[in-house]
Amino acid sequence: MPLLGEGLPDFPWDTLTPYKTAAYAYPGVTADLSIGTPVDPTPPIATAALQASIQSPGYPPALGTPELREAMVDWWSRTRGATVPLDGVLPTIGSKEMVALLPALLGVTGNVLIPDIAYPTYDVGTRLSGADPIPIDTATDPGTWPEAELVWLNSPGNPHGYVLDADQLRRIVEWGRATGTVIASDECYAALPWAEPYISDGVPSILADDIAGEDKTGLLALYSASKQSNLAGYRAAMIAGDPAILAPLIEMRKHMGFLMPGPVQAAMTAILGDDEHVAAQREIYRRRRDVLMRATAAAGLTADPQTKAGLYLWLEDESGTLDSWGIVGALSQRGILVAPGTFYGQMSKMKVRMSLTASDEAVDAAAERLVAAPLV
């Protein structure tokens, strides 16, 4: 009997081991910029709520406490311009579990369209469901896309930080409704815009009323508190949209025991009502981004000009001499670890992804080394 995980690609970060060894052997602080795990403190508003709810002996509700559901509904309206009902929100144990499980939970067995440059879990989750992943450029005309049961969007995108603008999202919504295709948009980096019009107007959501209207039929959006609030260790995220799709998901999660712990629900309720800590964290990342943008340019690395938001720099060797693994190797010799573009598809074999999630000390050390020792 074949095992469920057979035939899946190897976990890509395992192939970074020799480069990680080299980077960590470099004298001084190691600048590990290979993954997007937060390093800054979790906001006091979250830790206080967690502590206040530490006595949580009973099973928490799968669909979220009434307070959390109200907070989620308010958050989508206040920050994303999206009107969703109470039965149109659901807390999830991080957003990655939903990316990996949604095709299976929806019973998808046909085609699933995924971004052609993307975090590998869209592909893996599709394969786990027995469906067929088909990479597409989600910025193209949806009328040219293959038939599918489900489409994954990721805006702002990981790894490259591209943003699907409001007009493109409207085209995708219209296409999805005309074809009966479910559209699922992973929007977990939306709180980190770096360019206009997104700094002023915000990154558009597939659920926004000015894009989808008040009817969210066939539409889902994911969001995570991991990046905006340094809650990756809490596994605090949510999915919102079409209540008709979420209802059976809630029932299945009850059967499977996928319940966000009660204290985490309290912490998530608190952070969703506070925008100040999000703005403060964004400024921390802005400073690190500015430092790394200047240093990588001085080192001969070109940042993708289409990167408008997100937690990463998407870089290539301006001379065209080094491919992604060549850049990874050169940086590891300087005590800097980044992810090769090949982790996100062979189209990115000349790129690397550099995360902003390292301490100020590590970011400053990386910048000094890049300026002192350019790659080419």
CATH (domain of 108): 3.40.640.10
Same domain, 249 and 108: yes
Same domain, 263 and 303: no
Same domain, 256 and 316: no
Q: What is the mean pLDDT of residues 322-348?
A: 94
Same domain, 248 and 309: no
Same domain, 128 and 158: yes
pLDDT value at residue 1: 39
Can you tell me whether residue 115 is helix, strand or coil?
strand
Both tokens of residue 365?
């050390």
pLDDT higher than threshold 80 for residue 261: yes
Q: What is the mean pLDDT of residues 216-236?
A: 95
How many domains, the chain?
Answer: 2
Q: Which of 222, 252, 274 is the last residue of a domain?
A: 274
pLDDT value at residue 8: 56
The boundaries of the domain holding residue 307 are 12-41+277-372
Give pLDDT tens digits for 229-242.
999 999 999 999 99
Same domain, 283 and 267: no
pLDDT value at residue 194: 97
Same domain, 98 and 164: yes
Give pLDDT tens digits for 21-43.
999 999 999 999 998 899 999 99
pLDDT value at residue 253: 86
Buried b (16+ CB within 10 A) or exposed e, 237-257: bbbbbbbebbeebbeebeeee
β-bridge partners, 312: 355
Q: Which of 274, 290, 316 is the last residue of a domain?
A: 274
Shortest CA distance to 123 belongs to which of 141, 111, 106?
111
Same domain, 23 and 161: no
pLDDT value at residue 2: 46
pLDDT higher than threshold 60 for residue 294: yes
Shortest CA distance to 36 belongs to which of 121, 120, 159?
159
Whole-angstrom Cα distance, residue 189 to residue 207?
A: 15
- Angle (nearest 5°) at CA 272 between 53 and 314: 120
Same domain, 281 and 152: no
Helix 96-105 vs helix 121-128: angle between axes, to the nearest 10 degrees? 30
Give pLDDT tens digits for 1-18.
344 555 555 667 678 899
Strands 312-317 and 351-355 come out as: antiparallel
Give pLDDT tens digits for 96-145.
999 999 999 999 999 999 999 998 999 999 999 999 999 999 999 999 99
pLDDT value at residue 7: 56
Name the DSSP letter for residue 311: S
Amino acid at 64: G
Same domain, 291 and 243: no
Strands 301-303 and 312-317 come out as: antiparallel
Q: What is the mean pLDDT of residues 209-219?
A: 96
Amino acid at 65: T
How sure is the predictor about 376, in pLDDT bands with cuts at 50, 70 and 90?
Answer: confident
Give pLDDT tens digits for 145-165.
999 999 999 999 999 999 999
pLDDT higher than threshold 70 for residue 341: yes
Q: Which of 243, 274, 305 is the last residue of a domain?
A: 274
Same domain, 16 and 104: no
How sure is the predictor about 310, in pLDDT bands with cuts at 50, 70 and 90?
Answer: very high
Reported residue count of the chain is 376
Q: How many helices (H) and strands (E) does the chain have?
A: 14, 13
Q: Exposed, middle or buried: residue 44 (CB in 10 Å: 0-12, 13-18, 19+)?
A: exposed
Domain membership flag for residue 47: no
For the chain, where are the E strands, in sequence order? 31-32, 89-93, 111-115, 132-136, 150-154, 182-186, 219-224, 236-241, 301-303, 312-317, 336-337, 339-340, 351-355
Average pLDDT, the chain: 93
Domain membership flag for residue 322: yes
Name the DSSP letter for residue 186: E
How sure is the predictor about 256, in pLDDT bands with cuts at 50, 70 and 90?
Answer: confident
Shortest CA distance to 354 belongs to which of 332, 376, 371, 372?
332
Q: What is the mean pLDDT of residues 366-375?
A: 94
